[in-house]
């Protein structure tokens, strides 16, 4: 028994230290998110899921610094059919310009499956002139294709409209 006591104490110390390190790292990671230093003000970054309820977008993290907004988001297929592929668009609104050309997409996405994505861009200029202060960034579903070939698409505001 006396021969096993030092080994048992060493084992308990190792388990205790390992548990402490794991707890500290998990707690430290939850408090110090990568973007926690510069989150966007409330309302600057948002999501518009109203036009296509099959794809739900949720903001996970935001970062705003020097008129640059970056967003980390989650996309979930909340519909009843899988998606062959999908696109999410970021609409950046500045004082004198609206940029809705930033898109990201992937696929397939099964029912109830989620994917994460990221948008982040610098401040655009209009022929070298500033477009002003960033007012908002809104994420929207912009294109969905289903396995049967049907598509749903939200056109860009810069596309010509048919009369």
pLDDT over 90 (residue 9): no
6-10, 21-25, 99-103, 144-148 — which one is most confidently predicted on average?
144-148
Query: Tokens for 113?
Result: 């499956």
Give alpha helix (H) positions in 32-162.
none
- Phi and psi at 71, nearest 5°, equal -135, 140
- 82 pLDDT band, cuts 50/70/90, is very high
Q: Tell me how far apart the alpha carbons of residues 19 and 58 are, in angstroms, rounded to a whole number.
A: 33
Q: What is the mean pLDDT of residues 61-71?
A: 82
Which H helix or E strand runs over 9? helix 4-31
Q: Of residues 151 and 40, which shows the higher confidence score?
A: 151
Query: Tokens for 156?
Result: 């860009």
Q: Does domain 45-153 have CATH number 2.60.40?
A: yes
Q: Give me the residue spans of the domains in the chain.
A: 1-32, 45-153
């Amino acid at each position: 028994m006396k021969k096993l006591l030092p080994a048992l104490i060493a084992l308990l110390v190792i388990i205790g230290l390992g548990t402490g390190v794991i707890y500290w790292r998990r707690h430290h990671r939850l408090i110090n998110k990568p973007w926690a230093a510069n989150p966007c003000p409330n309302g600057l970054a948002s999501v518009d899921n109203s036009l296509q309820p099959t794809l739900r977008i949720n903001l996970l993290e935001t970062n705003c610094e020097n008129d640059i907004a970056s967003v980390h988001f989650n996309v979930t297929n909340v519909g009843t059919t899988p998606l062959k592929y999908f696109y999410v668009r970021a609409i950046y609104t500045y004082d004198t310009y609206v940029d809705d050309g930033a898109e990201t997409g992937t696929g397939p996405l099964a029912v109830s499956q989620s994917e994460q994505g990221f948008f982040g861009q610098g401040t655009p200029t209009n022929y070298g002139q500033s477009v002003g202060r960033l007012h908002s960034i809104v994420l929207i579903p912009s294109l969905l294709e289903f396995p049967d070939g049907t598509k749903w698409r939200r056109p860009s505001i810069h596309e010509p409209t048919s009369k």
